[in-house]
Amino acid sequence: MRKSLIRTGGFSLIIIVMVLATVSCNNDAGRAVRPVVIRFNTDSVKLAEEPRKSITFILGEDEDPSNPYYREAADFYQFNTEHKTDFVVTKCRSLLEVRNYLENNAPDNDLPWGQINLVSHGNQWLGLSVNVTPESKRATQERIKEHIENGSLKALPDDIADSKTEIVIHSCGVGNNPRLVDIISKAFGGEHNRPMAKASTLFEYYESKRDGDKLIESKRYFANAWHVNYKKGYKPEKKVLENMLRIKYPNEKINWTEAIEREQPRFSGDTYFYTFEIQVKWVINLSETDSIPDLSDQTAMLAWVKTQKEITESLKETDIPAGEFNWWIRKVYTDNPDGTKTPALWVKGFSEFLCVIKPVINDQNKENNDSECYFVSVER
């Protein structure tokens, strides 16, 4: 009998082989059977792992009945044959609540989570619209980092989320901000054995077909987006906007003139536009030796803003120059723990974006709802 040891996935398999001695007229007759060790190359031996559980978090509620983004997304991840997940949770309204739900409702197969979908309005400049904690504000890169560092957003244990766990962020264009995607991965998994996170570089939206209350089908679509921005209240004329788009995207074959004339598509794959506002704000405390700067007009306010390290560092994350904001600055007082007050400046900046949208279509001239190629992963 001979034994061979195969090591696979942390345990051993014993293979026992019987060797029969040949009886001949020589002295081999009656010789005892001896164990022979045979060595196997087990590099290609893999054991099948039970499928991991998947879960989707719908992180908001629809405020505009004409834009049922969250309702349609909930339908998609519950009923779409290819992309539905084992669980869909609609009650969490912060990343901390998501984190706690994952830990307190561990999969019953004793494996870490497989795929975690986070569905939220958002953009690459200001992050996700969902809060970091119930008491905080929206999930920007800097705010998530702050809550990780102060311990209010702790990484999940490895038996809940590990390096095989995948966090997929469904929020328009957030994949264009790899630093935000990376910090979300870190928030849920720490420095080492943390999940892979990925997000789409395109806009995402969902659409269902119904017969009365009966759901017929639910699909996800993607769209390319091109944008220019300007100080709020200083919207350029259409000819100027067209030129801004042409200069910024010289290789795109888009009829910018037509695109910025309509706010709704006329047919599948048609271009159209919409506008939205980006707002940034700070409260900057002044020391006793600080004098109130000249804040008499936009030129003076912009000059002062450019001297403030806290503001300029934050603006680097948005990739929006300070000159593309309409600034509003007022003197205020902040309350100190001892009951005294400290003079401060309340600073707000407003920038408006014009965004041209064109849904992605396939070779059959239909809007594409199947491809995962629009998602980019951030290397750990």
Segment (H or E) for 17: strand 11-17
Three-state secondary structure call for residue 95:
helix
- Highest mean pLDDT (candidates 197-206, 209-218, 286-295, 360-369): 197-206
Q: Report the pLDDT value the prediction gives residue 287, as an integer from 0 to 100.
A: 83
Do 235 and 165 fall into the same domain?
Answer: no
Residues 44 and 86 in one domain: no
* Cβ-proximal residues to 190 (8 Å cutoff; 6+ apart), any chain: 155
Q: CA 352 to CA 350: how far, in whole Å?
A: 7
Tracing tokens 């939206």 back to the chain, one arrives at 205
219 located within any domain: no
Q: Of 37, 74, 71, which Cα lies nearest the Cα of 55?
A: 74
User: Per the structure block, which two tokens stand in for 44?
Assistant: 């290609």
Structural domain for 10, as ranges: 1-48
Q: Quote the mean pLDDT of the chain.
A: 85
* In a shared domain, residues 124 and 234: no
| Residue range 70-85, pLDDT digits in tens | 999 999 999 999 999 9
Residues 173 and 245 both lie in one domain: no
Residues 65 and 39 grouped into a single domain: no
- HSE (side-chain half, CA atoms, 13 Å) at 376: 15
| 82 occurs within a structural domain | yes
- Judge if 326 and 229 occupy the same domain: yes
**Percentage of residues of the chain with pLDDT beyond 70:** 82
Asked whether residue 212 is assigned to any structural domain, the reply reads no
pLDDT surpassing 80 at residue 98? yes
The pTM assigned to this predicted structure is 0.77
Q: Tens of pLDDT along 195-242? A: 999 999 999 999 888 888 888 999 999 999 999 999 999 999 999 999
β partners of residue 367: 361
pLDDT at 373: 55
In a domain, 214, yes or no: no
pLDDT of residue 371: 54
| Whether 63 and 198 share a structural domain | yes
| Domain identity same for 18 and 115 | no
Q: pLDDT tens for residues 317-329?
A: 888 999 999 999 9
Q: What is the pLDDT of residue 318?
A: 84
Is 217 a member of any domain?
no
Q: Is residue 266 part of a domain?
A: yes
pLDDT at 6: 34
Residue 208 lies in a domain: no
Domains in the chain: how many in total?
3
The pLDDT, as a whole number, for residue 378 is: 56
- Angstrom distance (rounded) from CA 130 to CA 273: 25
364 domain-assigned? no
pLDDT score at 139: 96
The answer on pLDDT for 362 being more than 70 is no
- Asked if 68 and 193 sit in the same domain, the reply is yes
Residues 192 and 306 in one domain: no
Q: Are residues 43 and 58 in the same domain?
A: no
Do residues 171 and 70 share a domain?
A: yes
The Cα–Cα gap between 180 and 165 comes to: 18
